Amino acid sequence: MSGFAGFDPERFFRARIGHGGTLGTEYRAHGADWAELALPYDENLIGNIGTGVIASGPIISLMDMATSMSVWLCADAFVAHATLDLRIDYLRPATPGRTVIGRGECYRLTRSIAFVRGQAHDGDPGDPLAHVAGTFMAPEGYPR
Amino acid sequence: MMRLPPYADLLGLVVEHGDDGAPVLMMPFATDVLGRPGFLHGGAISGLMEMAAIVALHRALAGDGGGEIKPINVTVDFMRGGRDKETRSRGVVTRLGTRVANVEATAWQDDPAKPIAAARMNYLIVRRG
């Protein structure tokens, strides 16, 4: 296994550079097998000029990060891994002006594959705007 | 040609034209699209492919009476790590129906035959008139 034992998502997020930082994603909360991130509304994320609704790409990025962090929490280690696939259903457009909250959960961890799912909402968890399902793979394996 | 939205500018997208006139979107390498050190963020690659799919669908719709589109879902397969170089993507409308369109897109770096990622999307179409 390559990586570090234990995983602190808050610390991990504090030193953010790259795409997550450009999008403006923020840490929100976490548990033993889940992580919650926030994506504040920003005009630079708009995908539909007419309506001001943000593009779907930033929501994929948000959910990719939230589910990836849920795997490290589940494994209790930071392990090099890659997204194998990610499917996202857009249940409704995100409301312009509202922060999107993405929660990722790792519901099954095997020696080399992690199975994840998650939902995104913009204020009411009972009214989700997106649902995701995906898998990650660790070339050198996840700790068991 | 449709006007690209602010999110396309955030990704740094540039419209290029392929041999047969179908638009290709090019995403330059920048720290803005970086994931883990040395590799592109999967979300940025997905965003590039979604924009390529939307451009292809608008182009197909323009020749078919026009209309608004709404994303229903997207499934992305990541095949290779995206390295620190230019990435290109082109969308292909596999079926343009009355209410739903099926669109596919791939993203590649050096060789279009060796994609780094592929996406399948369903779009809801709201026809004009």
- Determine the pLDDT at residue B19: 67
Interval A15-31: pLDDT, tens: 667 898 899 999 999 99
Report yes or no: A33 and A106 within 8 Å, Cβ to Cβ. yes
Q: Could you tell me which residues come within 8 angstroms of residue B25 by beta carbon, excluding any fewer than 6 positions away?
A: B8, B13, B14, B15, B16, B48, B51, B52, B55, B88, B89, B90
10-residue stretch averages of pLDDT, chain B, 129 residues long: 87 86 89 90 96 94 90 97 96 96 97 97 90
Q: Which of A17, A49, A87 sits opposite B75 (nearest CB)?
A: A87
Does B35 fall in a domain?
Answer: yes
Interval A45-60: pLDDT, tens: 999 999 999 999 999 9
Instruction: Quote the percentage of chain A above a pLDDT of 70.
Output: 95
- Average pLDDT of every residue of chain A: 93
What is the C-alpha to C-alpha distance for residues A111 and A45, in angstroms, rounded to an integer? 37
Residues written for chain A: 144
Give bridge partners of residue B88 from the DSSP assignment.
B26, B108
- Determine the pLDDT at residue B128: 78
Q: Token pair for residue A16?
A: 């953010």
User: What residue of B is the nearest CA neighbor of A44?
Assistant: B6
What is the C-alpha to C-alpha distance for residues B38 and B85, in angstroms, rounded to an integer? 10
User: What residue of A is the nearest CA neighbor of B5?
Assistant: A47
What is the domain extent for residue B29?
6-127
Residues 39-58 of A with CB under 8 A from B: 43-49, 54-58
- Determine the pLDDT at residue B65: 86
Q: Token pair for residue A39?
A: 């994506």
User: What residue of B is the nearest CA neighbor of A91?
Assistant: B72
Look-up: residue for tokens 């001001």?
A: A52
Number of domains comprising chain B: 1
Distance from first CA to last CA of chain B, Å, rounded? 22
What is the C-alpha to C-alpha distance for residues B14 and B105, in angstroms, rounded to an integer? 16
What is the C-alpha to C-alpha distance for residues B72 and A24, in angstroms, rounded to an integer? 25
- Cβ pair A46:B75 closer than 8 A: no
Q: Which of B9, B50, B77 sits opposite A56 (nearest CB)?
A: B50
What is the C-alpha to C-alpha distance for residues B56 and B95, in angstroms, rounded to an integer? 12
Model ipTM value? 0.92
- Determine the pLDDT at residue A1: 41
- Cβ pair B47:A60 closer than 8 A: yes
What are the extents of the domains in chain A? 3-137
CATH of the domain at B93: 3.10.129.10
- Determine the pLDDT at residue A11: 81
Q: Is A132 on the interface with B (CB under 8 A)?
A: no
Does B1 fall in a domain?
Answer: no
Q: Could you tell me which residues come within 8 angstroms of residue A132 by beta carbon, excluding any fewer than 6 positions away?
A: A63, A67, A86, A87, A88, A89, A104, A116, A117, A118, A119, A120
For testing contact with chain A, the best of B13, B31, B46 (most A CBs within 10 A): B46
Look at residue A2 and tell me whether its pLDDT is greater than 50: no
CATH class given for the domain over A3-137: alpha beta
User: What residue of B is the nearest CA neighbor of A63?
Assistant: B43
For testing contact with chain B, the best of A12, A17, A19 (most B CBs within 10 A): A19
Interval A50-105: pLDDT, tens: 999 999 999 999 999 999 999 999 999 999 999 999 999 999 999 999 999 999 99
Residues written for chain B: 129
Element (H, E) at A19: helix A19-23
Task: Tell me which residue of A111, A113, A131, A112 sits closest to A121, measured CA to CA.
Answer: A131
